[in-house]
């Protein structure tokens, strides 16, 4: 019970603590500011533990980004399932996106990974994968091009929330998605051209 106890013996748990601490820090201070010392302090483990479990800082970074990626992947899966309930409609998607904006952690995780992706090709795979997955469950209903545009817009919404204090209204999101996903009824020739493209 005393704090003086020096050693635990639960490698799995410890490894997880370290990765979790690293992931948190990446979200808070950015992937480039990660150090062994900060991770150790955050995880409440001795410095040596961080190098015991990860041969290099880069390995640790990779594991932490992997953990964030898994988190985001899980969130996308969840969204995919929710979409079935809500419907792949502008209103349904807007509701989910807007609800997602309240989960700061999830958005920050996403933003952190995408940011890391800019300088790291391996990480870029994740970002592309998610992009494709989101397109994947919108496309069957609205076509690939509109689905892609919607995914791009949703990405913009997430970034917006990172820069601005006030999140976007659900209504604004819904209207924009409606415009993106709905074929323009005005000039039928245009929609025909788009469909054939």
Long-range contacts at 31-34 (CB < 8 A, ≥ 24 apart):
31/61, 31/65, 31/112, 31/115, 31/116, 34/60, 34/61, 34/64
Q: Which two tokens stand for residue 47?
A: 């410095």
> Residue 27 and residue 71: Cα distance in Å, rounded?
13
Per-residue mark of binding to a copy of itself, 123-142 (x: CB under 8 A): -x--xx--x---------xx
Q: Which two tokens stand for residue 3?
A: 């704090």
**Cα–Cα distances in angstroms (integers) from residue 46 to residues 24, 43, 52, 56, in the given order:** 18, 9, 10, 16
Which partner in a copy of itself, DNA, none is near 44 (CB below 5 to 8 A by kind)? none
Task: Tell me if 29 contacts DNA by CB under 7 A.
Answer: no
Instruction: Write down the least CB distance from residue 28 to DNA, Å.
Output: 14
Q: Which of these ranges, 12-20, 36-44, 77-85, 112-120, lies near a copy of itself under the rule CB under 8 A?
A: 112-120
Rg of the chain, C-alpha, whole Å: 21
Instruction: Write down the least CB distance from residue 6 to a copy of itself, Å.
Output: 18
Do the Cβ atoms of 97 and 173 come closer than 8 Å?
yes
Which partner in a copy of itself, DNA, none is near 84 (CB below 5 to 8 A by kind)? none
Of the pair 57, 129, the CB lying nearest DNA is at 57
Which partner in DNA, a copy of itself, none is near 7 (CB below 5 to 8 A by kind)? DNA
Task: Tell me if 163 contacts a copy of itself by CB under 8 A.
Answer: yes
Using CB atoms within 10 A of its CB, is residue 111 exposed (0-12), middle (13-18) or buried (19+)?
Answer: middle
Applying CB under 8 A, the residues found at the interface with a copy of itself are: 29-33, 87, 89-90, 111, 114-115, 117-119, 124, 127-128, 131, 141-142, 145-146, 148-149, 152-157, 159-160, 162-164, 168-169, 171-176, 178-195, 197
Q: Which residues of this protein are in contact with DNA, per CB under 7 A?
A: 6-11, 14, 34-38, 45-53, 55-58
């Amino acid at each position: 019970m005393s704090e003086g106890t020096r050693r635990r013996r639960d490698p799995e748990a410890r490894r997880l603590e370290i990765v979790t601490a690293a992931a948190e820090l990446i979200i808070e201070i950015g992937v480039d500011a990660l150090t062994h010392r900060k991770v150790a302090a955050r995880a409440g483990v001795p410095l040596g533990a961080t190098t015991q479990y990860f041969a290099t800082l880069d390995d640790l970074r990779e594991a932490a980004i992997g953990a964030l990626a898994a988190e985001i992947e899980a969130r996308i899966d969840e969204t995919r399932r929710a979409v079935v309930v809500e419907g792949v409609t502008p209103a349904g998607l807007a509701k989910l996106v807007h609800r997602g904006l309240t989960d700061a952690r999830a958005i920050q995780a996403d933003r952190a990974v995408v940011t890391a992706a800019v300088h790291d090709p391996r990480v870029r795979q994740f970002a592309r994968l998610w992009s494709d997955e989101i397109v994947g469950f919108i496309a069957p209903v609205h076509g690939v091009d509109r689905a892609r545009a919607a995914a791009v817009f949703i990405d913009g919404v997430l970034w917006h929330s990172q820069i601005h204090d006030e999140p976007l209204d659900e209504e604004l999101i819904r209207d924009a998605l409606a415009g993106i996903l709905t074929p323009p009824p005005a000039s039928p020739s245009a929609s025909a051209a788009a469909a054939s493209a």
